[in-house]
Structure formats: structure tokens, C-alpha cells
Chain A
Amino acid sequence: MEPYKKHESIAALMNRSNVDTDQIIPKQFLKRVERSGFGVHLFHDWRFNDDGSDNPEFELNKPAFKGAKILVAGDNFGCGSSREHAPWAIADYGFNTIISTSYADIFYNNCFKNGILAIKVDKNQLDRLMTEITANEGVRFIVDLENQQVTTPAGNGFSFDIDPFRKGNLLSGLDDIGLTLKHVDKIDEYEQQHKQNYPWLWA
């Protein structure tokens, strides 16, 4: 995982609520056995017309949002299936930051495992960001994870909360499994105890 660095990037706007993982990456693309190459299929059913051409109505196809690394989206983003293909597609497309009022649980966890910073803001803050982007498409925000701060040209900046464990992992790009395996003695010990307490699970 790439360490997450402070960056200034275009913020794209998706003013929709309950964007589900079936839309983020439709099921016809879940049959691949690799982790990479999902970006070209991100939001496929909204993004492309039936003949495969770009759908000009779809917000992320706006030229002003090209190269955006920040996605500002409506409530309950990423609901539905547990498919990690959703954050794989989002990251592969080029986003490393999402800003919304809320996320579905599994999706939220999956983001941080793939170097995506998912920031939670309140409704008023989200409205201000959405207004700023609408008035000035292509606007660039600065995201500083170290200081938990987002800055915008129109002064709609804010600081955000984040779990320190998740923050540390994003900043260092550390592998969760490696971190857990530092506790392998504790796991062994727990397992021995578990076998005594619940012998039927090990029969």
C-alpha cells in the first residue's frame, strides 16, 4: 500500500445518496481473479452508454473533473455488497479520498485497506463543499491527513476526525496482517484457552 501524502487535487462531485457497490462496480466485472484493472469499469452502467461511448450526462465524465483524486458524495456512500472490488475500482480510477456524511460499514473498512481516506463530515459541511464545487467545477482542495485538515479556495476548509490506528496505517502504508502477526504469541495463547473452553469447536 502506498503511504498517503498531503496533496492538492481536483474535487469531483457526485450529488447522489445511497450510491451502492453494485453501481460502483457492476457484478459483470467481479469475475476477475486479480486485484488490478477495475478502474476502467468504475460506475460502468452510469458512465457508459449502451454502445460503449461515454455518457456525457454522468458527472464524472465532465472534463472539469478529469484527474480528480477527491470524490465528494452524498449520504450512505458504498452501501450494499461487501465486494472490495468497489474500493479497488475507486483507487484504480485515481481517487484516494472520499468525502461524505456517512458510509456503509464494510465499504468504509475496505477503503482504508486500499489506501483510500474516507472522510466523514456533517450535512452542513457537505452542502458547503458541494456548493463550492458546483460554482467552480475543477476546484482543487488540499487534503492534509497528518494534520487532519482539508482546505478549499473559498474558505470552506475544515478539520476531520479519524481513528488513530487507521490514520497511522494510511500514513505509513503498513500491512494490517504484518501488524497483527506481531501478536502471534497472544493468538496462540488465546487459541489454547479456546480449545479448553470450547472443546466441541475443535472436535
Chain B
Amino acid sequence: MLCIIRYALLIDPVTRHTLDVEPVKALEFAMKKTMYEKIWDSHLVVDAAGQAPLIYVDRHLMHEVTSPQAFEGLRLAGRKVRNPHSILATMDHCVPTKNRDLPIADPIAKKQIEVMAENCLENGLNLYDMKNPNNGVIHVVVPEHGFVHPGMVVVCGDSHTATHGAFGALAFGIGTSEVEHVMATQTLPQKKSKTMLIQVDGRLSKYSSAKDIALAIIGKIGTAGGTGYVIEYAGEAIRALSMEGRMTLCNMAIEAGARAGLVAPDEKTYEYLKGREFAPSGNNWDLALAYWKSLPSDEGAVFDAVITLDAADIAPQVSWGTSPEQVVGVNGAVPAPESFENESKRKACESALAYMGLAPNTKITDIPIDLVFIGSCTNGRIEDFRIAAEMTKGTKVAEGVKAIAVPGSYHVKHQAEDEGLDKIFIEAGWEWRDPGCSMCLAMNGDELTKGQRSASTSNRNFEGRQGKGGRTHLVSPAMAAAAAAAGHFVDIRTL
């Protein structure tokens, strides 16, 4: 592991109070709240004994895959959607990213799309369907329209809902039964999470990005490291990230097992939101702004766990295995199973190497790739295409490599086209597609075939995620673009 991460102690707030702090100060501690606690407290509807606390949900995001059974459940129980205005829906997982004018070839996907449209129509919900100019990946579209604000509770039947924590909203993924529950009641029974502060100090090199911070964190704490926690990301390197970068970072909080990721709102957040369709305006803007400014964690608020990293140590990351925690800096090598002391990690390494077709100690830059994918709710925003285009300019896609650029939304697509980015990709031999989840989860015709290896800007390298037998390496957009031109991974710091 290249990045040096100093693992901080697990702090039990109770223990801390009794050991380190005088009684008077303990009281002060008790009054100081983290951002998560502020949002939790302001959304608590019922906290009755013998029952999970009920929290209020401000915004409910929806896509076609995890909602149909919830609508069916509502219908069967004779219930109605309590607040249709709290919902924004899109179609993204199953939609093809080319030949959008033709009917969807897969009859089951076609049915799912039709059912989504019927359900939204029947319940009066705002839907950006496939033909809508606002269409795109839910977690790209929602911020574009200013639908999520700081301090909200936001849910979606999708684990990458964590993305919206970039705005200082408590945003998390839920199951379909919970989707139905929120539609019917506007609330959700929830267990309060523990809090984890991930402090990223120092400055990131210009070759590393939010994606590399996210992967480096998961590499260190593991895919279960955040289980039971809501993470708050703080520190100089986080403040320096754009809103797009913060979205990328929070998006992958779930890959660390956390319920949600949060970044405190600041001037960048307000600047981003101002003027967007669903952002407050006029007098409401001033009221909202005053509230948003009260949200950041109080100075001295106690977190249950604290982890610190130095951004300067974070090299561009490449995953080598079948879990996002199996990751290494680009100038590193594929590890040998024996290098893991923990038996289950050793076993996991063995089976990952077998699946990935990689030998221990192979240099990352020696790994050849067949396909490059830039897109997804992790890295499908305008900034991602700008960086990738900069790397791509004047290059050609390496022989035998297929490269596809899939904007996260039509707005991203059109913006990129206005800036001439599409031409850069097309001239280099890339395919320039319509928006959708595409190869992130391969439900829509875009997929790897058995044994094919990708450099992908998406979020999961699980077995079969991008197609049965497909081998996924997770990277940043800059790293993906460089790999497309070289045909293998490249240490972009040496270009």
C-alpha cells in the first residue's frame, strides 16, 4: 500500500468522557453535535420504546429496477403515495446507451421501463423518461436540478444514494420494501448509526482525484470498515474538491460499508445550488442558507471513530481484485496471497487472482486491457469528461481496445459537446454514447464478455458485475483515458 494512512483509535464517547474529561466538560461534549446528529435529531418523528426510531424523509429518488414491486405492494394494500412532490424518478439501469430511437431489444427490460412509466403516471410522479432531455443516471440528474439540499434526509432504492452526502444531506440506499414504506408514510424506521470522521489533510497531487481518495480509504479500512457508521469526510483535501469530486467520494462511502458519507456544506455547495430548478429562491434562499450554515459539525463534537490520511501520499489507484478493497497504487504490483496475514484475506486474494487471471507480483502497469469505460454515477459528470478528454487529446485508442464514454446525463452530454469534448473522444477512436448506467452493471446491453478486462471508472469490481467472467479494474477518469491510449495501465505521473 503506497498511501500511508494513520489509523486512529476507536473512541468510545462514554469512555472518553469518564477518562479524559472533567464532568463539566463532559456536559459541553454532550451538547456538541456532529452534522449527522443534527440531521438525525431534526428528522426524528417518533422515538418510542420497543420500536425502531422513525425518521422523516424529505426526498425520495427512484429508478426502474428497485421500484416496481414497491408500487405493486402499495396497490395491493390499497395505499397511496403520501407526498408525490418528494419524488424524482428516472430510467437509467436498463436503458440502452445507443440506438435510443429503436425499441428496447430485451423484452423484460422493455417491460420494466413501461411499468415504471405507468407507475409514475398513475401516482403523479415527476419522471425523466428515456426521451426526456433531463434523462440520465439518477445520482447525476438529481444534483443537476438542485433537488437535494444540505440537511435533508434523502433515500433511494440504490446503494449509491450516498452520492448526495456531498451536499451535506443524509442520503442512503434502501431496499424495495423500504421504498414502499417511504412512499406510504414519508418515514422510515432506522437505527441510529455510529459516526466516523475521515480527515484527509494535505494537498492531493494533480494526478490524483476524488476517486483515488475513495479507493485509498477503502483499501485501508476494507469493504466492511464503515459498517454501522455514517462517515463525515473533512480536511483540507476535501474542502479543495469540487462538488463533482465530493459526489464521487461520497458515492463510494457504501463500498466501505458505511450507511452514508457526508461533506459539510460550504460556499462551493451554495454556489453550485444557486439558481438550479429545485433550489430555493428569493426570501427562501436566505432562510435556507442560514439553516445550511448551522449544519457543519460543532467544533469539538465527538466521533465514534477517527481516521486520518495525508492526501499527498495518495497515488492514482488501480483495483487488482474482485472487491474494491483490493486496490493498490499504480506504481505497485498485484500482491501475493502470502503477503496477507489474515486467513480470510489470503483466501480472498487467491480466489480474486484466479478470477482476474493475474499472477502475484505482476506490475500494475504491465496489465493489458481490452475495454475502457468512462461513466456511471461515480464518474459520469462533466468534470470527469473534461479530465479524460485532456488525457485523450491527440491520442488514439490502442489497437484491440474498445473505449466508450457514457455521459451521466443528457445535460452532461450536451455540455461536453458544447465544449467540443465529444470530438476529442471520437477522433481518438472512442464511442460517444447516450446517458445511462451502461457498463457499471451491464443490465443494458453494454457488457464485458468472458475473460475481457476493463479499466472502468465505475464503483464495483465484483465477479461478473460487468458481465459474466468479465474482469474489472476500478480507476479514475484520467487513469482510464491513459489506459485506453496505451492498451495497459500507465502511471500518469510519468507521462
CB atoms of B52 and A104 under 8 A apart: no
Question: For the complex, is A40 an interface residue (Cβ under 8 Å from B)?
Answer: no
CB atoms of B291 and A198 under 8 A apart: yes
Question: For the complex, is A84 an interface residue (Cβ under 8 Å from B)?
Answer: yes
- Spot the interface stretch: B232-240, B241-249, B369-377, B457-465: B457-465
CB atoms of A35 and B72 under 8 A apart: yes
Question: For the complex, is B257 an interface residue (Cβ under 8 Å from A)?
Answer: yes
CB atoms of A106 and B284 under 8 A apart: no
Question: For the complex, is B129 an interface residue (Cβ under 8 Å from A)?
Answer: no
CB atoms of B228 and A26 under 8 A apart: no
Given contacts A17-B348, A76-B223, contact A186 B185 (CB under 8 A): no
Query: How many A residues face the partner with a CB closer than 8 A?
Result: 57
Query: How many B residues face the partner with a CB closer than 8 A?
Result: 73
Contacts of A197 in B (CB 8 A): 42
Question: For the complex, is B265 an interface residue (Cβ under 8 Å from A)?
Answer: no
Distance of B340 from chain A, by nearest CB (Å): 12
Which of A74, A164, A177 is the one whose CB lies under 8 Å from B50? Answer: A164
Question: For the complex, is B184 an interface residue (Cβ under 8 Å from A)?
Answer: yes
Distance of B91 from chain A, by nearest CB (Å): 12
Which of B68, B149, B348, B462 is the one whose CB lies under 8 Å from A23? Answer: B462
Residue of chain A at shortest CB distance from B257? A104
CB atoms of A33 and B106 under 8 A apart: no
Question: For the complex, is A59 an interface residue (Cβ under 8 Å from B)?
Answer: no
Could you give, for residues 276-318 of chain B, a 1 whenever the CB lies within 8 Å of some chain A CB and a 0 otherwise? 0000110011011001000000000000000000000000000
- Spot the interface stretch: A6-14, A63-71, A109-117, A138-146: A109-117
Contacts of B288 in A (CB 8 A): 198, 200
- Spot the interface stretch: B135-143, B168-176, B379-387, B401-409: B168-176
CB atoms of A31 and B112 under 8 A apart: yes
In the bound complex, CA of A175 to CA of B74 (Å)? 12
Distance of B219 from chain A, by nearest CB (Å): 14
Contacts of A18 in B (CB 8 A): 223-224, 323, 348
Given contacts A22-B464, A26-B464, A176-B189, contact A186 B72 (CB under 8 A): no
In the bound complex, CA of A200 to CA of B147 (Å)? 12
Could you give, for residues 81-115 of chain A, a 1 whenever the CB lies within 8 Å of some chain B CB and a 0 otherwise? 11110010000000000000010111001100110
CB atoms of A200 and B287 under 8 A apart: yes
CB atoms of A180 and B177 under 8 A apart: no
Contacts of B112 in A (CB 8 A): 31-33
Given contacts A33-B112, A33-B115, contact A106 B462 (CB under 8 A): no
Residue of chain A at shortest CB distance from B94? A31
Contacts of A110 in B (CB 8 A): 175, 177-178
Question: For the complex, is A51 an interface residue (Cβ under 8 Å from B)?
Answer: no
Residue of chain B at shortest CB distance from A23? B463
CB atoms of B462 and A113 under 8 A apart: no
Distance of B348 from chain A, by nearest CB (Å): 6
CB atoms of B185 and A27 under 8 A apart: no
Residue of chain B at shortest CB distance from A103? B227
Contacts of B223 in A (CB 8 A): 18, 76, 79
Which of B157, B173, B285, B463 is the one whose CB lies under 8 Å from A200? Answer: B285
Distance of A188 from chain B, by nearest CB (Å): 10
Question: For the complex, is A122 an interface residue (Cβ under 8 Å from B)?
Answer: no
CB atoms of B224 and A165 under 8 A apart: no
In the bound complex, CA of A187 to CA of B389 (Å)? 49
CB atoms of B159 and A80 under 8 A apart: yes
Distance of A12 from chain B, by nearest CB (Å): 19
Contacting residues of chain B (391-446) with chain A, CB-CB under 8 angstroms: 441-443
In the bound complex, CA of A79 to CA of B187 (Å)? 24
Could you give, for residues 168-203 of chain A, a 1 whenever the CB lies within 8 Å of some chain B CB and a 0 otherwise? 100000011101110110110011001001111101
Question: For the complex, is B192 an interface residue (Cβ under 8 Å from A)?
Answer: no
Given contacts A22-B463, A27-B441, A187-B185, contact A35 B175 (CB under 8 A): no
Contacts of B72 in A (CB 8 A): 33-35
Question: For the complex, is A20 an interface residue (Cβ under 8 Å from B)?
Answer: yes
In the bound complex, CA of A201 to CA of B58 (Å)? 8
Could you give, for residues 45-67 of chain B, a 1 whenever the CB lies within 8 Å of some chain A CB and a 0 otherwise? 11010111010101000000110
In the bound complex, CA of A80 to CA of B175 (Å)? 12
CB atoms of B106 and A31 under 8 A apart: yes
CB atoms of A183 and B46 under 8 A apart: yes
In the bound complex, CA of A98 to CA of B223 (Å)? 20
CB atoms of B177 and A84 under 8 A apart: yes
Question: For the complex, is B181 an interface residue (Cβ under 8 Å from A)?
Answer: yes
CB atoms of A83 and B65 under 8 A apart: yes
Q: Residues of A with Cβ closer than 8 Å to B?
A: 16-18, 20, 22-23, 26-28, 30-35, 45, 74-76, 79-84, 87, 102, 104-106, 109-110, 113-114, 163-165, 168, 175-177, 179-181, 183-184, 186-187, 190-191, 194, 197-201, 203
Can you list 15 pairs linking A and B with CB atoms under 8 Å apart? Answer: A16-B347, A17-B344, A27-B441, A27-B442, A31-B106, A33-B111, A33-B115, A34-B72, A84-B66, A84-B69, A105-B257, A165-B51, A190-B45, A200-B280, A201-B152
Besides A82-B175, A198-B291, A203-B284, 4 other CB < 8 A contacts?
A: A22-B463, A26-B468, A27-B443, A183-B54
Q: Residues of B with Cβ closer than 8 Å to A?
A: 42, 45-46, 48, 50-52, 54, 56, 58, 65-66, 68-69, 72-73, 77, 79, 93-94, 106, 108-109, 111-112, 115, 149, 151-152, 157-159, 173-178, 180-181, 184-187, 189, 191, 223-224, 227-228, 257, 259, 280-281, 284-285, 287-288, 291, 323, 344, 347-348, 351, 441-443, 460, 462-465, 468
The 8 closest A-B pairs by CB, nearest first: A200-B280, A200-B284, A84-B175, A33-B68, A113-B177, A110-B175, A82-B173, A84-B176
